Structure 1
């Protein structure tokens, strides 16, 4: 039996590798596809600096929360995933995070279950992301040790999931684009110059029981097919 994990923050250990351009495009396009389902969102831009941080994270291969005061990761959002089925499916990871939408009620800004990974994916004020993955042998996940597991991390800047705030504003698409976003493409705010639109390619910026808790939310359930772990690190306002 394989277990599915969803949590809210993590660590990993030596040695990951840089994503290929097509993998960067896959994970960027997946995020932007799901963001286009909601109104008034910008498209994400890919950051190699955030990718480096994600790479350092998965290299630790240890599943635990980082300190909020960690100078490298404070002020960033993070989603994490793991699977004991060693098959790289970056779109599948993003889709699983997004599918937490079923637990979220926008009208009252309420989660019935775990939905922080979904809200980070669609957080309107998050502008950049960078991701990495590694096959960890072993991967330590709290009291569990997996002999071999695929470990994925995505970093987001600025972070999402501020207490009391909705992830995005409801309204007409592309009517509240952030500064610097001058066009609308497939429902997303984009930067556009003659002959080129930013959503078309991965832009790069260099700059088994169940239990839940509040605040740092953790849930554990069992599945026959896939084991995944999703995490969000963000600066919360109490």
Structure 2
């Protein structure tokens, strides 16, 4: 086999491998692990979130209705907390969770409020009394991405703090 053929095969392996890597960050383990890393970074003994298929089905049903990529909260009747992320192109589940976690600097834990920017997505991720999570991702009609994660019990309860 000539060196040119070998390089072509190696290039093809890299292309196929990189496309698998892009999709690998959308597994339920990726969603859960990224949430739990953020939770442990704040309070080391915070209970891990666990994946819940019923909540994931709720998230998927709602995401399927949002192929227009509009950020509109679902109506769970207060049953679930919710985080939504939308992008103009592809976005992985890991990127969505990291986007929410990046609001951390805006949360003032001494005053229990957001200062200088949005932080309610972050506080839902680290809400200590939320124990279960389910997430979904759809490709929007415009080529963008809509990602929703729902949490049980819901977080961001007025007057309560996210963690002890």
Q: Would the TM-score normalized by the shorter structure come out above 0.5?
A: yes
Of Structure 1 and Structure 2, the greater helix share is in 2
Q: For 1:36-87, what per-residue CA distance to the aligned partner results, in whole angstroms no more than 9, with x for missing partners?
A: 0122410001001111000011111252244xxx4x452210101111122x
Which of the numbers 91, 94, 110 marks the counterpart of 2:94?
91
Counterpart of 2:105 in structure 1 is: 102
Please give the alpha-carbon distance, in whole angstroms, between the structure 1 residues aligned to 2:83 and 2:137. 12
CA distance in 1, matches of 2:77, 2:34: 23
Q: Deviations over 1:87-113 (max 9, x none)?
A: x42111111101101101111112112
| 2:129 alignment counterpart | 125
Change in 2 beyond 3 A, CA 1:22/1:92: closer
- Runs in 1 of length 4+ with deviation above 3 angstroms? 19-22
Task: Give me the whole-angstrom Cα distance separating, in 2, the residues matched to 1:74 and 1:101.
Answer: 24
Question: Which residue of 2 is the match for residue 50 of structure 1?
Answer: 55
Residues in 2 aligned to 1:94 and 1:32: alpha-carbon distance in whole angstroms: 10
Equivalent residue in structure 1 for 2:65, among 60, 67, 75: 60
User: Is the counterpart of residue 163 in structure 1 residue 155 in structure 2?
Assistant: no
SS in 1 for 2:84: strand
Pairwise CA distance, 1:157: 0.2
Aligned partner of 2:144 in structure 1 is: 149
**Greater share of strand residues, 1 or 2?**
1
Deviation string 1:88-145 (CA, Å, 9 cap, x unpaired) is 42111111101101101111112112100000000000000000100010xxxxxxxx
d(CA) in 1 for partners of 2:25 and 2:102?
Answer: 25
SS of the residue corresponding to residue 89 of structure 2 reads coil
How many pairs align?
137
Secondary structure of the equivalent of 2:30?
A: helix
Separation of aligned partners in 2, 1:82 and 1:57: 14
Counterpart position of 2:3: none
Cα-Cα RMSD: 2.0
Superposition TM-score, scaled by structure 2 size = 0.77
Counterparts in 2 of 1:46 and 1:65: CA distance versus 1, 3 Å: closer
Distance in structure 2 (CA, Å) of the matches to 1:21 and 1:118:
19
Partner SS state of residue 59, structure 1: helix
Q: Is the 8 A contact 2:78 2:154 kept in 1?
A: no
Residue aligning to 1:38: 42
